Structure 1
Amino acid sequence: MKTFKLKLVECTSYFFILLFCYAAISKMIDFENFQVQIGQSPLLSAYAGAISYGVIICEILIVIFLSTRKSRSIGLYSSTALMSAFTMYIFLILNYSDFVPCSCGGILESLGWTEHLVFNLLCVILGITAVFIADNNTGFSKLSITALLFLSNVLCCFLVYILYINSEEIIKQDNNFTRRYLMHPIIEKKISSLDNPYYYIAGADDKNIYLGNIKFPQQILVIDSAMVIKKKINIELDIKEFPYRKLETKVAGKYYYIYDGTVPIIKRGLLSSSKPQTISLNDAYFSQLDVINNYNSFVLRTQSSKTKNLLIASLRTGLQKNKVELWPSFLRKQTDGVFDSDGALSVDSENGNIIYTYRYRNEFIVADSTFKVKQRLNTIDTVSIAQIKLIELEGSKYKLKAPPLNVNGFSTVHRGLLFNQSYLKGKYESTKRFKNSKVVDVYKTDSKLYIGSLYLENRNDTAVNDIITTDQFLYAIAGKQLIQYQLNQPLLKYLK
């Protein structure tokens, strides 16, 4: 029996030697990729540099300790503690991360995060068993062994947790600005239940709100201001006619538009008709589109065929030949011209102003319907430079080295007011409230005026993902719910 126990300790030691030796060597061989994986972690990206070196050093030291009988006990304690730290990290990823990144590579590449968690737990149990057997033979009491194991494992788990908390502070919340929350700017009025969670807002007017659907792109759901579903418009479209990949719909005035910028094609139809007509084909590829108020003019976000930078373009239809014009000075490049210029495009239907809100920096652009930039204004946070880390690939292509700092999310504009969702928490704000809501900041688009902010609460743990405003209401979608909010005086007084 004693021989079996000693053999178990030896086999466990050889297993950890093999595991950590392979892990350390594979990380060193592809060190840049390993740093990128750590940098893309939503929990530890603020410490990617130090952790990438620290993990390799720890693994090499553990291999050295396990290789000799005199230090084997230290190696087993260290192996168990390090596997506990990895287990804690995976637990945080699965339960508290904004997103779950790709799993690690190497010998365990085929395992998902849950399988990794089980594997690590088994390694911890194996390590604890080996420690008890090894230290019992050296005269240590069970109480002493238990205390050392508890302290080393808990300390390592606590260290991972502290790194996670501090990384969250550095990446998301160290942003020295203060919001002004308005007194009852909106009041919830009614809720309409939707049959699936794939809806987005395609348009609205004083009488109706129009919802497109990601899963059923040829369908528009019409809901009136009393929050009663009126009808579904089923658009007749031959999906075999073109290689459609990203069909979207938009409603403006009496028309709906169904389009796919990857074809590229734009079709238009009356809301009273299910048969749209093609008004643009192969004029310009685009990733975003909005309608300017004469219904024959469009603003597009496209990409330069030469520089690959994101560009704003205008498209006019209804002429003898459709006219496309590029506006290369509209967006301003900071680093790569793609990731740093990403953002949300919208049009104020009341005055035709074009608004572009950058995703990764505190700026939005206001231009008139002739594409003349009137103002470049700032949101209230302090991120003026997009915090993006890139790796250059072959062919002048880039990929993200670490998750970028999201600054702005969805937005909508109406009568000179921009409603902009912010990802950043200001000073003195409740962390719990911030996590359970979407914060929307409201700005004037004709002056440097921040009006104030409001909360849009999560619904059944589902966050709001799209909004639109009319003269009376703000509408929001959260999962399978469409929520109608009444606009109150703190906001109404600013609507032109």
Structure 2
Amino acid sequence: MMSLIKKYFVTTVCLLVAFLFVYAAMSKILDFENFRVQLAQSPLLSAYAQFISFAVVIVELTLAFYLCLAHFQKLALYCSLGLMSAFTIYIFLILNYSDFVPCSCGGILEKLGWREHLIFNIGVVLLISAAIFYKEKKDHPHKKLGLSISLQLFSIMICCGAVVVMFLRSEHIIKKENNFTRRFLQHPIFEDKVFDLGVNSYYFAGIAGDQIYLGNVTTPLFIAHIDTGLQNFSRTKISLDNLNHPFRNVQIKVKLPYYYLYDGNVPVIYRGKLGDSTAHTISYGDAFFNQLTVLDSMKFAIRTQRRADLQHSMGLLDLNRNPKISLKPEVLQRQIDGVFDVDGILTSEPKSSKVVYTYFYRNQFIVMDSSLQVVNRFNTIDTTTRANLSVTKLSDGRNKMNAPSVSVNKSQALFGDLIFNRSNLKGKHEPSSSWKSSSIIDVYRTDEQRYIGSFYIRNKGGKAMSSMISDGKYLYILIGNELQRYRIREGAFNYDSKRNRWFGESLVDGDI
């Protein structure tokens, strides 16, 4: 019996490995689009997904073919050893140095976890190595096996080294060089509560303590608040000390212990204490502006238009200083017209007063301190470095877009050193169906150039989210009439630089 096993051992191993490769290749081919999408989300190989998705299938089928030919079995076994070693080191890196990879397995291997898959692959590697020794001993019975060992080690080192290099390069491209390949985090948030607001005209004014404050574009003199548990909802009508203004766009912002009501077209800013329905004028005629965020009780970051050329500019409005307004023309960098090409959204972090401005039409957000000094200019993961706009200048000096624009970013929320950015562009290999039925949120650091990952917010009743806000523990979303609360999984966005991975990331099944 043993002599029979020895006689056909090499042939049996070759057929077994050939079957394994054919099975794996066919599983990928039958669901190739899904395989390519999931490979693109791999934290190790995402930057090379297009090439690898085809290469792996071709190599697996080619090796399976040559393993069945007696004259090519030895060469095919050496190549198979390298390929299986590459798959094995890939799983090892996933388990020890990365955050996650989506599953693209099928059939019997679909039930294997990552560690079981690692053990399975190691077993196949040892089996192939044993078959090589038997083959060499059979073909050259009097020859020492030192050369065979060297060739096996060379094959393993070349293939494993290639995977390691791709891993290091892919991580660099994804996190530093803006290759537009998204990494989808594994369940970073969980929807756990919904409150029906009755109408879809609310927007977030801020979070203070355990209360979420909302403004309403149709009833601008009402401020609503609901506890963070989404239990008790109430509205209060604000009484202004002066109503004799031609209001056009009244907005509300909240920063403890005050709320602020303003209209930059007038321009006027009112301030009231939370819990008090009366708001008093603290600024009138100091500055026209089209965006505002509160830095402290008498200090605001604004976006305005310069009188000389009507271009957008950042400015600091400090009501305790003289002059009260200080323009910061160096912050927004013109590419085309200085108006549409620098358009974006202005936000501040509630506790640190860190200010972030994200461009709508290019892949950049600007991090500033409370004096509007630029700390960093960071890039989002898409490749739109220049605004794709066609602008015409009218005779009265105004600029108008004369063609549809390509919007990159839509809205954002800040908390601590994180920015939740709602993107408007579909990345490589992302399913169109998911994109159409969801909003995509990309998460970045504001203290370094680092893309953390992405997740979907599903549309509700055909409506996409309108705005979001976070208190660090939860992410709150407005979709249609609903206020939705998503619990942020503990450690989902915390980065461990020593291990080059994010704390708390779960691992799911992988592929050979």
TM over 0.5: yes
The aligned counterpart of 1:302 is 304
Post-superposition Cα deviations, 1:285-316, rounded to whole Å, max 9, x if no partner, equal: 00000011x32210000000001110000011
The structure having more radius of gyration, on CA atoms, is 2
Taking structure 1 as the reference length, the TM-score comes to 0.63
3-state DSSP of counterpart to 1:364: strand
Q: Equivalent residues in 2 for 1:268-279 (5 A)?
A: 268-279=271-282
Distance 1:491 1:212 in 2: 30
Q: Gaps spanning 5+ residues in structure 2: where? A: 1-177, 496-501, 503-512
Post-superposition Cα deviations, 1:243-298, rounded to whole Å, max 9, x if no partner, equal: 01110101111210000000000000001111111111000000000011x32210
Contact 2:267 2:289 in 1 (8 A): yes
Distance 2:393 2:324 in 1: 35
The aligned counterpart of 1:196 is 199
In 2 relative to 1, CA 376–176 (structure 1 residues): closer, same or farther, beyond 3 Å? closer
The aligned counterpart of 2:405 is 404
The reply to whether residue 463 of structure 1 matches residue 440 of structure 2 is: no
Contact 2:205 2:215 in 1 (8 A): yes
Matched to 2:337, the amino acid is D
The aligned counterpart of 1:220 is 223
Q: Deviation of residue 413 (structure 1)?
A: 0.9
Distance 2:209 2:385 in 1: 37
Distance 2:424 2:476 in 1: 20
Distance 1:186 1:453 in 2: 11
Post-superposition Cα deviations, 1:96-119, rounded to whole Å, max 9, x if no partner, equal: xxxxxxxxxxxxxxxxxxxxxxxx
The aligned counterpart of 2:186 is 183
The aligned counterpart of 1:337 is 338
The aligned counterpart of 1:257 is 260
Post-superposition Cα deviations, 1:349-378, rounded to whole Å, max 9, x if no partner, equal: 222111000000000000111211010000
Q: Deviation of residue 444 (structure 1)?
A: 0.2
The aligned counterpart of 2:57 is none
In 2 relative to 1, CA 222–282 (structure 1 residues): closer, same or farther, beyond 3 Å? same
Q: Deviation of residue 195 (structure 1)?
A: 1.8
Aligned length: 320
Q: Equivalent residues in 2 for 1:80-99 (5 A)?
A: none
Distance 1:445 1:492 in 2: 13
Q: Deviation of residue 322 (structure 1)?
A: 6.4
Contact 2:242 2:281 in 1 (8 A): no
Q: Equivalent residues in 2 for 1:44-193 (5 A)?
A: 177-193=180-196
3-state DSSP of counterpart to 1:459: coil
1:246 is aligned, of 245, 249, 253, to: 249
Q: Gaps spanning 5+ residues in structure 1: where? A: 1-174
3-state DSSP of counterpart to 1:305: coil
Matched to 2:197, the amino acid is L
Matched to 1:277, the amino acid is H
The reply to whether residue 286 of structure 1 matches residue 289 of structure 2 is: yes
Contact 1:203 1:209 in 2 (8 A): yes
Distance 2:329 2:369 in 1: 16
Distance 2:381 2:255 in 1: 31
Contact 2:204 2:469 in 1 (8 A): yes
Distance 2:323 2:265 in 1: 18
Distance 1:234 1:317 in 2: 26
The aligned counterpart of 2:318 is 316
Contact 2:465 2:478 in 1 (8 A): yes
The aligned counterpart of 2:210 is 207
Distance 1:467 1:266 in 2: 24
Q: Deviation of residue 401 (structure 1)?
A: 1.5
Contact 1:280 1:322 in 2 (8 A): no
Distance 2:232 2:337 in 1: 45
The aligned counterpart of 1:433 is 434
The aligned counterpart of 1:478 is 479
Q: Deviation of residue 240 (structure 1)?
A: 4.4
3-state DSSP of counterpart to 1:433: helix
3-state DSSP of counterpart to 1:440: strand
Distance 2:362 2:290 in 1: 20
Matched to 1:214, the amino acid is V
Taking structure 2 as the reference length, the TM-score comes to 0.61
Matched to 2:190, the amino acid is I
The reply to whether residue 363 of structure 1 matches residue 364 of structure 2 is: yes
Q: Percent identity?
A: 40
More displaced stretch, 389-398 vs 438-447: 389-398
The aligned counterpart of 1:421 is 422
Matched to 2:387, the amino acid is A
Q: Deviation of residue 471 (structure 1)?
A: 2.2
Distance 1:397 1:244 in 2: 22
Distance 1:399 1:248 in 2: 25
Distance 2:185 2:493 in 1: 12
Distance 2:348 2:213 in 1: 16
3-state DSSP of counterpart to 1:341: coil
3-state DSSP of counterpart to 1:465: strand
Structure 1 runs (4+) greater than 2 angstroms displaced: 237-240, 395-398, 489-495
More displaced stretch, 232-241 vs 459-468: 232-241
Matched to 2:239, the amino acid is E
Matched to 1:313, the amino acid is G
Contact 2:298 2:318 in 1 (8 A): yes
